Structure 1
């Protein structure tokens, strides 16, 4: 990863989803907050970085060997320094587990976001692998699910996610930053946090909160 992208990621990690959300709304962007039902396995661990995407479908007639062959093929394509983001079109089986997460961590993947389930949860916690998911289940992909796309546009909730977009996730939720706008969003977010600090300082010094808002245009 280039130094400029390292610096961009470091700056984005210093932000929080609330301020990033407000900046994107102010910019006129829409549909960038992922469903609140998708929650982090490790609530205190921020997830931040560019994404690669996966899409798939349920196929109850799939051969067990075929499903595992194609699943391990996905793991082989995983991109270091990126987040695994999956739209499996399934809410019954797990789409991340212990061996997969350990493989991804070894390949430098930052974490995963799955619009579906995970399993081997205690192992993922011990590994420190951040997984945003809807539910847990012991059921796996064998003989039930096949991938249909890698690094393709996917939709989670009302959010279009494209390969190379950025995600930021913290205790408040997950937001998607379009790759074309990420540098501008980060710069404006950092500036907004500086203004918030001025508002906070003014209020703690006795300024009326409405006066502080009118003075700085931020609250």
Structure 2
């Protein structure tokens, strides 16, 4: 990746960290993209990881019995991560974890900005010490080795959705997750969504300021309209 592109991507990522997923969801509604929110089960798995933003790097797997001894395809997939990307894990691995502490360390070493897991994770106490944000649907001590295997990376994946059964996430889409949940932003509208979300954020800041100075909620709504 060229340095100029990396600088641009990181600037976008930092700006997204200053807006809320709720504002992003509202903007997507106005663009005719109402089903980009991920299932409410996606939640931060440590206090250090309550907010993350980054470009989607997708990893897909499936339940399949195989001998113990590791998952070379998982390690290979993680080696493709670049700075500022979110590893987006999809698959059918109910009840098992997709990765733990050591994979998280490897991702962090490559500059990965966090992980979004449509499945389980473990070693949370140790991942938290790495200050590596992880949003996942559940936690479990049961490993994936011998049960669930990575079969592709950087392909379109389907994650469980909030208002639709699934949300399609493609490599290069943008992921934002915070205390309210997680949402996927198609690559084609990232800049447009960001600019409008920043505008809404600015309006909300003004409203909070005026409310703190004594303006009533009715007066604020009359002045600023619905936000």
Q: TM-score with structure 2 length normalisation? A: 0.87
Residue-by-residue CA offset, 1:147-191 (whole Å, 9 max, x unaligned): 222111111112111110111111111111111101111111111
Contact 1:49 1:83 in 2 (8 A): yes
Aligned to 2:174: 166
Q: Which residue of 1 aligns with 2:15?
A: 11
Match of 1:126 in 2: 129
Structure 2 match to 1:180 = 188
Partner residue in 2 for 1:52: 57
Q: Name the counterpart of 2:91.
A: 88
Q: Which residue number in structure 1 is paired with residue 163 of structure 2?
A: none
Alpha-carbon offset, residue 112 of structure 1: 0.7
Q: Aligned partners of 1:195 and 1:68: how far apart in 2?
A: 49
Give the Cα separation in 2 of the matches to 1:137 and 1:163. 27
Count of matched residue positions in the alignment of Structure 1 and Structure 2: 217
d(CA) in 2 for partners of 1:77 and 1:11?
Answer: 24
CA contact (8 A) 1:49 1:166 kept: yes
Match in the other structure for 1:200? 208
Tell me the distance in 1 between the aligned counterparts of 2:209 and 2:124. 43
Structure 1 residues 156 and 54: alpha-carbon distance in aligned structure 2, compared to 1, 3 A threshold:
same
Query: What is the CA–CA distance in structure 2 between the aligned matches of 1:187 and 1:102, rounded to whole Å?
Result: 33
CA distance in 2, matches of 1:53, 1:23: 24
Q: What secondary structure, in the 3-state scheme, does the structure 2 residue paired with 1:9 have?
A: helix
Query: Aligned runs of 1:64-103 on 2, under 5 Å?
Result: 64-65=68-69, 68-103=71-106
State the secondary structure of the residue aligned to 2:135.
Answer: strand
Length-normalised TM-score, structure 1: 0.90
**Structure 1 gaps, min length 5:** none
Matched residue, 2:222: 214
Q: Which runs of 5+ in 2 are unaligned?
A: 161-165
Counterpart secondary structure, 2:115? strand
**Aligned equivalents of 2:226 and 2:210: distance in 1?**
12
Please say if residues 43 and 170 of structure 1, whose CA atoms lie closer than 8 Å, have aligned partners that are also in contact.
no
